[in-house]
Amino acid sequence: MSITNLEPMSRNSFETNGAALSAGDNNSSMNLEIVASNSAETVGAAENAADNNSGKLVLSKQNQSTSLKADGGEVNSNVHIQDLIAMIRHAEKNVHLLNQARICALEDLEKILSEKKTLQGEINSLEMRLAETDARIRVASQERLHVELLEDQLKKLQTELSRRGGTLENIHDIIPNNDIIQSLSEEVNLLRTENISLKEDLQVLKAELTDIKGTGERVVLMEKEHSYFESSVKELERKITVSQEDVSKLSTLKSECKSLWERVDHLQTLLDKATKQADQASLVLQENQVLRKKVEEMEETLEEANVYKISSEKLQEYNDLMQQKIKHLDERLQRSDEEIHSYIQLYQESLNEFQDTLNILREESKRSKLAEPANDMPRKFWSRMLLMVDAWYFEKKIEFDNASLLREMIWKRDGRIRDAYMECKEKNERETITTFLGLISSADRPGLHVIHIAAEMAPVAKVGGLGDVLTGLSKALQQKGHLVEVVLPKYDCMQYEHVQDLRGLDMILESFFEGRMFRNKVWVGTVEGLPVYFIEPHHPGNFFWRGQLYGEHDDFRRFSYFSRAALELLLQLGKRPDIIHCHDWQTAFVAPLYWDIYAPKGLNSARICFTCHNFEYQGTAPASELALCGLDVSHLNRPDRMQDHSAHDRINPLKGAIVYSNIVTTVSPTYAQEVRTAEGGKGLHSTLNSHSKKFVGILNGIDTDTWNPATDIYLKVQYSVNDLQGKHDNKEALRRQLHLSSADVCRPLVGCVTRLVPQKGVHLIRHAIYRTLELGGQFVLLGSSPVPHIQKEFEEIANHFQSHEHVRLLLKYDESLSHIIYAASDMLIIPSIFEPCGLTQMIAMKYGSVPVARKTGGLNDSVFDIDDDSIPVQFRNGYTFFTADEQGFNSALDRAIYHYKNDRDSWQQLVQKNMNIDFSWDSSALQYEELYLKSVARAKAANRS
Enumerate binding residues for ligand ADP (CB under 6 A): 464-465, 468, 753-755, 782-784, 813-815, 818, 837-840
Nearer to ligand ADP, 389 or 752 (CB): 752
- Four-CA torsion 924, 925, 930, 935, nearest 10 degrees: 110
Query: How many Å apart are CA 875 and CA 805, to the nearest integer?
Result: 36
3-state SS class at 416: helix
User: Which C-beta is closer to ligand ADP: that of 438 or that of 465?
Assistant: 465
Q: Who's near 715: CB < 8 A, 6+ residues apart?
A: 709, 726, 730, 819, 820, 823
From the CB of 731, what's the least distance to ligand ADP, in Å?
A: 18
Q: How many CB atoms lie within 10 A of CB 611?
A: 25
Cα–Cα distance measured from residue 327 to residue 315, given in angstroms and rounded to the nearest whole number: 18
Q: Contact 466/839 with Cβ under 8 angstroms?
A: no
**Sequence-distant (≥ 6) Cβ neighbours of residue 45 within 8 angstroms:** none
* Residue 647 and residue 580 in contact, taking contact as beta carbons nearer than 8 Å: no
Cβ proximity to ligand ADP, 465 vs 831, nearer residue: 465
Of 470 and 570, CB closest to ligand ADP: 470
Taking the least distance from each CB to ligand ADP, the nearer of 225 and 468 is 468
Q: How far is the CB of 307 from ligand ADP (least distance, A)?
A: 49
Nearer to ligand ADP, 592 or 838 (CB): 838
Closer by beta carbon to ligand ADP, 606 or else 853: 853
Give whichever of 65 and 706 is closer to ligand ADP, judged by the CB atom: 706
Least distance in angstroms from the C-beta of 812 to ligand ADP = 6
User: Taking the complex as a whole, how short is the minimal distance between the CB of residue 755 and ligand ADP, in angstroms?
Assistant: 5
Residue nearest to ligand ADP (CB): 465
State in angstroms the smallest separation of the CB of 748 from ligand ADP: 20
Give me the least distance between CB of 896 and ligand ADP, in Å please. 19
Please report how close the Cβ of residue 555 comes to ligand ADP at its closest, in angstroms.
17
Main-chain dihedrals φ then ψ at residue 364, nearest 5 degrees = -60, -50
Q: Which of 643, 639, 640, 594 is nearest to 622 (CA)?
A: 643
Cis check for the bond before 786: say yes or no (omega within 30 of 0).
Answer: no
Judged by CB, which is closer to ligand ADP: 386, or 811?
A: 811
Cα 570 to Cα 143: distance, rounded to the nearest angstrom: 127
Cβ-based nearer residue to ligand ADP, 636 or 830: 830
Closest to ligand ADP by CB, 760 vs 940, is 760
Q: Compute the least distance from the CB of residue 840 to ligand ADP, in Å.
A: 4
In the chain, DSSP finds a helix count (H) and a strand count (E) of: 27, 19
The three-state DSSP-derived secondary structure of 425-484 is CCCCHHHHHHHHHHHHHHHHCCCCEEEEECCCECCCECCCHHHHHHHHHHHHHHHCCCEE
Least distance between ligand ADP and beta carbon 811 (Å)? 8
Of 353 and 814, nearer to ligand ADP (C-beta) is 814
Closest approach, Cβ 256 to ligand ADP, in A, equals 46
Q: Which is nearer to ligand ADP, 243 or 818 (CB)?
A: 818
Tell the smallest beta-carbon distance from residue 925 to ligand ADP (Å).
17
The CA distance from 819 to 707, in Å, is 8
CB atoms within 10 A of CB 11: 14
Other residues' Cβ atoms within 10 Å of the Cβ of residue 31: 14
| Euclidean distance between CA atoms 603 and 578, whole angstroms | 11
Taking the C-alpha atoms of residue 63 and residue 239, their distance in angstroms, rounded to an integer, is 11
Alpha carbons 145 and 452: distance in angstroms, whole number:
122
| Residue 796 Cβ vs ligand ADP, minimum distance, rounded to whole Å | 18
User: What is the nearest approach in angstroms of ligand ADP to the Cβ of residue 252?
Assistant: 51
Asked if 455 and 489 count as a contact pair (C-beta separation under 8 A), the reply is: yes
Nearer to ligand ADP, 448 or 782 (CB): 782
Least CB distance to ligand ADP at residue 782 (A) = 5
Whether residue 819 contacts residue 712, with contact meaning beta carbons closer than 8 Å, is answered with yes
Nearer to ligand ADP among residue 16 and residue 784 (C-beta)? 784
DSSP of 918-945:
--SSHHHHHHHHHHHHHHHHHHHHHHH-
Beta-bridged to residue 753, according to DSSP, are 782
Shortest distance in whole angstroms from residue 815 CB to ligand ADP: 5
| Alpha carbon distance 820, 814 (integer Å) | 10
The closest of 932, 941, 930, 935 to 452, measured between CA atoms, is 932
Instruction: Extract the runs of DSSP E, i.e. beta strands, from 251-303.
Output: none
